[in-house]
Amino acid sequence: MTNLNTVDPAAVAGEAKIENSDVVITKSSIILRRFLRNKTAVVGLVIFLALTLFSFMGGLFTSWDKERIDPFNIGMPPSAEHLLGTSQAGIDLYALTVEGTRISILIGLVVGLVSVLIAAVYGCTMAYFGGKVDKVMLFILEALIMMPALLVVAVATSGGGNGLQKSLPSWLLLIIVLLVFSWMGTARLIRSLSMSLMTRDFVKAAQYMGIPPRRIVWRHLVPNIGSLLVLDITRGITGAILAEVAFSFIGIGIKVPDVSLGVLIGQATSQVSTFPWMFWVPLTVMFLLTGSLAMMNDGLRDAFDPSSSSVGRAKRSDPGKGKSGKTPTTAGKKTT
């Protein structure tokens, strides 16, 4: 290996291949391949995508919309005309579910993604700079944790924020409020994780190479807590959907005429026995949503984690590379 003067024909061939850019696989495709190996996760993703698609395209399959009242069918069970029946106000439940699912997914995605992003950047920045910056940022964080989120949501969405309410739809207002109160726990966790990463040599190496701090945080710290972030994103989406359902259920989240799964469930609870379809339809959709996310969680972690078992399995199927010696970290639980 040390003798550089001998020309290895395999190396030359390899180099030619690299020139043709066949060999350099981008990391995103590696991650995608690994994700696709986890069947449960793929099923989860398919369900989630189907629900998303349904929430956007579902409206095309019915002539009814969420505002039109059918005066002849008030509180009717599912029929040929109304696939999922109608609500007590005589509005098509299918149209309502489509609309509600869309709002719920939107809230979940935006809150889940953005709050984790805020948490990651905030936590990493705290850890990277340390000292005074850390102290001030930690104080802000603590102050936000102390604030009673429920009250703020109630005030913002009902009485207090009148001016805001006029200019913003209630779902957007809820997103903002949820965002403000959802990132602190994750940020603290990320801060402590990044602090231990900061002592690792590769961060020092990057500093000594003269890489600007912004890029170190973004390229070295954030990806290294990546598996945690991914888990937190999917958990955050689930959490946001559940929070929206809960707030709407007790009447302080989404306000009618806006619809969400929570609003639908909340309206139907009082008459589960008489109008069961009104309760079970949105509830099933909600379970499908959160369940599919939980299924995806595992696969995503496998995909992002370099030491995951996903590599081991790939090696085994390729007899040529199977004997590449002991790599202690690839010995994952799922290889057998």
Partner 1 sequence: MSHEMTAGTESADLSAELSAIERLHVAGLHAAGDAPADAVLSVRDLNVRFNTENGVVHAVRGIDFDLRAGKTLGIVGESGSGKSVTSMAIMGLLPPTAEITGSVRLQGKELLGLSDKAMCQYRGNDIAMVFQDPLSSLTPVYTVGNQIIEALTVHNPTMSKQAKEARAVELLGMVGIPSPKDRIKAFPHEFSGGMRQRVMIAIAIANNPRVLIADEPTTALDVTIQAQVLEVLHAAQEETGAAVVMITHDLGVVAGMADDIMVMYAGKPVETGSVDDIYYNPRMPYTMGLLGAVPRVDAAEKSSLVPIEGIPPNLIHPPTGCSFAPRCPLASDACLHGEPELRPVTGASLNGGLPHRAACLKTGSLGPDVDVREVFRAPAVPVSHFDAIPRAERRTVLELRDVRKHFPLMKGALIKRRIGTVKAVDGLSFDIREGECFSIVGESGCGKTTTLLEIMEFHKDQDGEVVIGGLSNKEASDAKTKSAMRKELQMVFQDPTGALDPRFTVFEVLSEPLENAGMAKPQIRKRIMELMELVGLQPDHVNRFPNQFSGGQRQRIGIARALAVNPKLVVLDEPVSALDVSVQAGVINLLDQLRAELGLSYLMVAHDLSVVRHVSNRVAVMYLGKIVEIGDVDSVFDNPRHPYTRALLSAIPVPDPVLERTRERIILQGDLPSPLEAPTGCNFATRCPVFVALPPAKQEKCLSLEPGLATVAETTGAGHPFPAAPIDQQFACFYPDGELDADMLVVHETN
Residues lying near partner 1 in the complex (CB under 8 A): 1-4, 10-11, 14-15, 17-18, 23-25, 27, 30, 200-202, 204-206, 208-211, 215, 219-220, 223-224, 226, 306-307, 311-312, 323-327, 329-333, 335-336
What is d(CA 177, CA 158) in angstroms, rounded to the nearest whole number? 12
Q: How far is the CB of 37 from partner 1 (least distance, A)?
A: 16
Q: Are 253 and 175 in contact (CB under 8 A)?
A: no
User: Token pair for residue 192?
Assistant: 């402590």
Query: Which of residues 30 and 172 has its CB atom nearest to partner 1 in the complex?
Result: 30
Q: Are 253 and 153 in contact (CB under 8 A)?
A: yes
Q: How far is the CB of 296 from partner 1 (least distance, A)?
A: 20
Q: How far is the CB of 77 from partner 1 (least distance, A)?
A: 53
Q: How far is the CB of 205 from partner 1 (least distance, A)?
A: 5
Contacts of 101 (CB under 8 A, 6+ apart): 51, 54, 55, 58, 261, 285, 289
Query: Which of residues 27 and 39 has its CB atom nearest to partner 1 in the complex?
Result: 27
Query: Which of residues 2 and 167 has its CB atom nearest to partner 1 in the complex?
Result: 2
Q: How far is the CB of 130 from partner 1 (least distance, A)?
A: 16
Query: Which of residues 14 and 185 has its CB atom nearest to partner 1 in the complex?
Result: 14
Query: Which of residues 3 and 162 has its CB atom nearest to partner 1 in the complex?
Result: 3
* Burial environment of residue 61 by CB neighbours within 10 A (0 to 12, 13 to 18, 19 or more): exposed
Dihedral in degrees, nearest 10, Cα atoms 123, 127, 132, 138: 30
Region of residue 54 (phi > 0: left; psi between -120 and 50: alpha; otherwise: beta) = alpha
Q: How far is the CB of 160 from partner 1 (least distance, A)?
A: 42
Q: Which residue has the tokens 């850890």?
A: 127
Query: Which of residues 234 and 309 has its CB atom nearest to partner 1 in the complex?
Result: 309
User: Token pair for residue 277?
Assistant: 């379809």
